[in-house]
Structure 1
Amino acid sequence: MITVLESPIEGYFVITSDNLVFEVKGVVHPENRIIAYLRYVPSESSSTGFKKVYDLDEREKYLREKYPEYLWNSEPHGRIVQSVSEEKIESILDPVDRLAQMREADEVTHLERESVVLARKLVEVTEIEWSNIGITGSQLVGVAGKESDIDLVIYGSTACRKFYSGICTKIDNIPEVRRYSGQLLENHVLFRWEAHTDLHPLLIEIERNKMLQGLIGDYHFFIRLVKTQSDLDYVYGDLSYQMRGYQKISGKVLGSNDSIFTPCEYQVECTSIPNLEKLISYRGRFTEQVSTGVQFEAFGRFELVTDHRDDDQYMQLVLGERSTDYLIPTE
């Protein structure tokens, strides 16, 4: 099946020659290498043969102790990043191909059947093409269990915006699809924002109104909207980053059109830091978090960004690398 992509990006997984499973992060990658985070490691005690590694620090520690060759100094990022070199790639798992296989399979699990049903309902109401939608997460890797969620991904800026527009007006009318409410909503917020119990009343209201998540039957689902390389006007190396430490800031959201994507982005202004232009995150929980025109408060890691195409420099705040990071409206 021909998909809309030419190379692995967000939502894809890579299996290495060391039998490690990495999740591809972002859209922009260097030649002969994929920036990706360790997600599953071999485990003899697991029925699937793999164990999921959650914490980012734990992933890096595992690699540093056992497979340091997957820790690579990315000069534009100005730091060590997890990545897989071309010669280490054993196989690449494509979300669009996997969903197509599930649609055509004679025998599927209950989770797979519900995943296909959800995907079909979403394609029907949003009128996107099947070539733009795939399944990622544990079902893509083949390690899904009874407690697994449904992780869908939509590719291409045009398809993503069409999808989001459709879902915003029709999600409450899709049979069997429910948005979070009541105790399920509270449990969802506790899971996503465990480190911020003091903010839970506000976070409950934020999560209640998000469109890219919910339930079908007893299964939780989350939908990532991902741009492709052709949607971007830069390539690896055009931008470089210098870390500037962690800080709490406040300001005003000037634009949130790209807040629906993974990675997500918010254009902002901050009177105390005049050259701060963006908030960005590679974590799904920061999508749809604040909207244009609102005042915000955030905690994350500062970066000085240099655009080498025109020698422009600006600051951005990166959210989601630590559990203590947050972004909330303040009005």
Structure 2
Amino acid sequence: MDPVEGFYLEDDRGTIFAVKGIMHPNKKYIVVPRYVRSKTGERGTSSRYVKLPSSNYKLSMERWPHLKQLDPYMGIEVLAMEGDEVKKIYDPISKLDEIRKDAPTPLHEACIRLSKMLEERGVDGNRIGVTGSILLGLEKKSSDIDLVVYGFANSVRAYEAMRHLRHEELTIPIKGREGNPMRLPIEVHLAHERRKLLKGVLLLGERQFDYLLRCIPLKEEYVERYGEARHIDLGPVKLEAKVIEDKFGFLVPTRYSIQTLDCNCMDVVSYGGVICEQAKKGERVLVSGKLEKRVDVVTGRTEPEIVVDMGGHYLYDPELADTG
């Protein structure tokens, strides 16, 4: 399959970029830099790498100006690699197949165990991959299990499998307080995080491993293909709404349908998945994001949507708070 979310690409300088999303320009890949070579790096063996912070996108634009472009359909500046700029493709599915044949560490063994648990509960093993630092061979002992599942139907089965694993107490909710990209009050953040099934702690006897599972639809399955619509920025927006549909709320990209207090209906979207599993159908939520007008390039039909992906953006149920 073509590189999408979960894949990584390496350029001729050895910089490793994460592929973002499933909608990409023709013969290009929208990326963010993740690892750069450094003599003082703490990761890697033959080549040493430093991991870059995922939040400083502005700095990435300045450091890799040759990749910067204004996307004519998304209406934002992105970093995009041409196909001939890619010197190596890191494929999550191929890497997991490799680990199945040789799991050199307990972390690798845990990846195999979790993937087998998914397969035993109906998930197609040929559509499961390992991503993140393990995919790149840059993991540390403290690294998380980072799996991806591709395809909508397969993702539905994976989500149900994770529900069963939580019910069987083979996984437990996350324990830590780190990772609050929406900058929510800590008790609200923890309450939302601890009910999520796609992130948590995998229990393997006396060993415990933090895990993250991302469910990625195929690009032909997604509600929009690249170039079908233009997105026009209408500025920031904050509102209260009711979630009326959450069937795509566990996927990356993530999408919810909401109804505002004045009965307007629209979608809330996160291309990076920051609101994955963040809300459930029927909940009343507070939303902060970028209001866009989506214009179909063929019919001219317009509809509003809210993008929640940047610092200061959020979606959450204010009534949900952790008191433990």
Determine the structure 1 residue equivalent to 2:241.
251
Distance change >3 Å, CA 271–CA 173, structure 1 → 2: closer
Picking from 109, 115, 126, the partner of 1:113 is 109
Q: C-alpha offsets along residues 124-165 of structure 1, whole Å, 9 cap, x if unaligned?
A: 1x2112111100011111111122111100000011112212
Aligned length: 311
The whole-number CA distance in structure 2 between the counterparts of 1:194 and 1:236 is 27
The whole-number CA distance in structure 2 between the counterparts of 1:146 and 1:313 is 49
TM-score where L is the length of structure 2:
0.89
Picking from 185, 193, 212, the partner of 2:180 is 193
1:203-242 to structure 2, matched below 5 A, reads 203-216=189-202, 217-232=207-222, 234-242=224-232
Give, in angstroms, the shift of residue 19 of structure 1.
Answer: 1.6
After superposing on structure 2, the runs of 4+ consecutive aligned residues of structure 1 that deviate more than 6 Å are: none
Determine the structure 1 residue equivalent to 2:259.
269
The whole-number CA distance in structure 2 between the counterparts of 1:310 and 1:254 is 26
Aligned-residue sequence identity (percent) comes to 23
Q: Are 2:305 and 1:316 equivalent residues in the alignment?
A: yes
Picking from 27, 34, 38, the partner of 1:43 is 38
Give, in angstroms, the shift of residue 84 of structure 1.
Answer: 0.9
Give, in angstroms, the shift of residue 258 of structure 1.
Answer: 0.1
The whole-number CA distance in structure 2 between the counterparts of 1:31 and 1:310 is 22
Determine the structure 2 residue equivalent to 1:326.
314
Structure with greater helix percent: 1
Query: Does the Cα contact within 8 Å between 2:182 and 2:314 map onto a contact in 1?
Result: no
* Counterpart amino acid of residue 320 in structure 1: D
Greater mean deviation of Cα atoms: 301-310 or 219-228: 301-310
Determine the structure 2 residue equivalent to 1:152.
147
Q: C-alpha offsets along residues 266-301 of structure 1, whole Å, 9 cap, x if unaligned?
A: 011224583x51111133441111111221101122
Greater mean deviation of Cα atoms: 111-120 or 257-266: 111-120
Query: Does the Cα contact within 8 Å between 2:99 and 2:108 map onto a contact in 1?
Result: yes
Q: C-alpha offsets along residues 219-242 of structure 1, whole Å, 9 cap, x if unaligned?
A: 210100000022135431111111
Taking only aligned residues, the RMSD between alpha carbons, in angstroms, comes to 2.0
Q: Are 2:276 and 1:279 equivalent residues in the alignment?
A: no
Query: Does the Cα contact within 8 Å between 2:128 and 2:147 map onto a contact in 1?
Result: yes
Give, in angstroms, the shift of residue 319 of structure 1.
Answer: 1.3
Unpaired runs of at least 5, structure 2 = 320-324
Unpaired runs of at least 5, structure 1 = 1-5
Determine the structure 2 residue equivalent to 1:178.
171
The whole-number CA distance in structure 1 between the counterparts of 2:17 and 2:261 is 40
Q: Secondary structure at the match of 1:218?
A: strand
